[in-house]
Amino acid sequence: MDVIAAQGLTRHFRYFENQPGLRGSLRSLFARRHKLRRAVDGVSFTVAEGEIVGFLGPNGAGKTTTLKMLSGVMVPTAGRAQVLGHVPWARKKDFRMRIGVVMGQRSQLWPDLPARETFSLNRAIYEIDRRVYARTLDELVALFGIGDLLSVQVRRLSLGERMKMEITAALLHDPAVLFLDEPTIGLDLLSQRAIRELIKTLNERRRTTVMLTSHHLSDIEKLCERIILINGGVLAYDGPLARVNEALGAGKIVTLAFSEPVPRAALAPYQGPLDAGGLGTDLLGARFHVDRAQVRDFSRRVLAELPVADLTIEEIPLEEGIARLYERGRD
């Protein structure tokens, strides 16, 4: 069953262009230039119950805007969406009681109060039984090791400490759908691992549906089997993480180490190397991007024609495949 469905979801922002200088400022008073920014432009996808989906894209691609619309914070310019059977921006109580949101750049905590006070307020807002609240809070506090920070003003916490508090606040009411926008930003490696394990446990035990944005690809690799990638506000890819390179018709990376220096010009007849190691015009090694169907013939040729001491063949790294999807999305 689909718990998240977006159809033609669109959000445009209209703004004024300020002209430089005093003359430009005066001109803008009487003849303002309007511009339109298409933050999200006709995005459609569905997410099934219990899925953990990586929602990826470069900075400014429209990820956060999309999550804000799905969580009801922002009203779209056009298109439709349903989350748990509700129109998000209608902000009905049942909808709000069943979702959790963590925005890495936006805090839900009161900066001048200790996080404990916000947690207590959330207990009342979400009508959580006191015993359930105490048990859940104890589990999260132990997981993140934040017991000695509960009475510290939020504004005095580090970014990593604050993110732990943000995630704790979002999980107290056991949401059915969780929107996480950069949840591991500013966290050390141990804390990142703890958050990943927590998300995985929630998903396995309670079938919590998660949409996750992160620039830490380790988060995506360890949690998500499927990714949705947007770029420039439009959908660039929606499918299994394992098939990112296949979707691009990608090949393999062939790395060569030479037993003696090879002139750079000697590599000209081959497919262009991704990079080469050596000084000046003499190379000690090179890496090639080779189509899958041509790997065998390419390997035979370089072994016969070049002084190859070592040859390795490997898959294109996930980071490179996603970067190429970004590039394709801009075309």
Q: What is the pLDDT of residues 238-280, one digit of tens each?
A: 888 877 766 555 677 888 888 888 888 888 787 655 555 544 5
| Full set of structural domains in the chain with CATH | 2-245 (3.40.50.300), 251-315 (3.30.70.120)
Is the Cα torsion angle 143, 147, 150, 152 positive or negative in sign?
negative
**The token pair that represents 4 in the structure block:** 């998240």
Burial 245-254 (b: 16+ CB within 10 A, else e): bebbebbbbb
pLDDT in tens, the chain (331 residues): 789 999 999 999 876 667 676 676 666 666 667 677 888 999 999 999 999 999 988 888 888 899 999 999 999 999 999 999 999 999 999 999 999 998 866 778 898 999 999 999 999 999 999 999 999 999 888 888 889 999 999 999 888 788 889 889 999 998 999 999 888 877 778 878 888 888 888 888 888 999 999 878 788 888 888 999 888 888 888 888 877 766 555 677 888 888 888 888 888 787 655 555 544 567 788 888 887 778 888 888 889 888 999 998 877 666 666 666 666 655 5
Which segments of the chain are extended strands (E)? 2-17, 33-48, 52-56, 78-83, 99-103, 177-181, 209-213, 226-231, 234-240, 252-263, 273-279, 282-290, 308-315
Residue type, 233: G
Concatenated DSSP letters of 219-261 = HHHHH-SEEEEEETTEEEEEEEGGGHHHHTT--EEEEEEEEEE
* Cα 276 to Cα 265: distance, rounded to the nearest angstrom: 12
